[in-house]
Amino acid sequence: MTTPSTAHVARHTHLLSGLDGSNLLAFMASLGTLRLLELGRPASKPRLRWEHRGVWTPILETDLSQAELVDALAGAARAMAAEPALAIGDNIKLTAEEFRELRERFAAEPTRVESLRWLAAFASDGCVDRNAKDGQLEDTEFRTMQGAGHQHFLKSMRANLATATADDFESDLFGAWRYARTGAPLRWDPADDRQHAYRWLDPSGDKSGAVVGALAAAGVALPLFPAAPSRRGLRTTGFTDARGGPVLTWPVWIPPLSLRGIASLIGHPGLQQSSPPRRELASLGVADVFRSRRISVGKMRNFTPAWTP
């Protein structure tokens, strides 16, 4: 007789064909999808790997069927929209004192481990922005907007998490991106960079759509990239200084990895070398490496299309 404790649970392999590992937003969405499942459905034991199918495409392994998967993601996203760390303001504008108060408050509550992860990704109380007039801290190098043009970094994350539906996750993770929904871009997608010089018409009046499911998942990946003080100020995991703007490097890998394994891999120092040690990285399962430069366009920031170093 088969009992619940001995019953075999089928593993499902999901090809997330809507995500291209060379696109920063898509890469972050793959990590965020895994995080949402780890947080919302840890018993499903999700794992993530990549296969080359014309482009590097993520493969998600879990106990959930596709219908269960997208429902779980929508539920976890709604819960994450209420995360206290995301409610500290519309943008990351903290002084050292405010940062310490938040850290102490979150640390005093055993259920606020996730909030501390977000806080560690936002800033460090050891790095004050010398260009700020009111003692604000330097913040994550993933931050692309801070109020100009009514675009706000944390507000956008909350909005995408609160509005993403199971249909959004299904269409964006499993199908071609149609940019058909109204959403709040994070400016991690190279398609968000609509500079005037490269357009026939002024793009400021365009009503651009969004991939809300991908955006909701991508934002949740941010705590995998904590920020820490360095000799040159705040440094976000994965970023290095370079002429023309900071550069983010990320890997894709072959073996199925848990969230903990991925967090270790993306922080590997070899990825930051001008010529990453391919043989050493291959021994860890890394199949390819991508880089994208963060650029400033007026008061906004964007990320360029990726290249392989």
182, pLDDT greater than 70: yes
Say if residue 92's pLDDT is above 90. Answer: yes
Torsional class of 135: left (φ above 0), alpha (ψ -120 to 50), beta (otherwise): left
What number is the average pLDDT over the span 129-158? 93
Percent of the chain with pLDDT over 70: 92
Q: What is the mean pLDDT of residues 55-77?
A: 98
- What pLDDT does 307 receive? 98
Question: What is the DSSP track for 1-59?
Answer: ---TTTPPPPPEEEE-TT--TTSHHHHHHHHHHHHHHHHH-GGG--EEEEEESSSEEEE
Q: Are 218 and 29 in contact (CB under 8 A)?
A: yes
pLDDT band at 206 (very low <50, low <70, confident <90, very high): low
Identify the DSSP state of 241.
Answer: -
pLDDT of residue 189 exceeding 60:
yes
Q: What does the pLDDT read at residue 7? A: 53
In terms of C-beta distances under 8 Å and separation of at least 24 residues, what long-range contacts does 266-272 make, across chains too? 266/224, 266/225, 266/237, 266/238, 267/237, 267/238, 271/238, 272/238, 272/240
pLDDT digits (tens, 9 = 90+) for 241-269: 999 999 999 999 999 999 999 999 999 99
**Rounded CA separation 151/180 (Å):** 19
Residue 79 reports pLDDT greater than 80: yes
- pLDDT-derived band at 132, boundaries 50, 70, 90: confident
Q: Which residue has the tokens 């360029």?
A: 304
The predicted-structure confidence for 39-50, as pLDDT tens digits, reads as follows: 999 999 999 999
282 sits in which H/E element: helix 278-282
Of 82-91, 98-107, 123-132, 286-295, the one with minimum mean pLDDT is 123-132
Q: How would residue 149 be classed by pLDDT, with cut points 50, 70 and 90?
A: confident
Mean pLDDT, all residues of the chain = 93
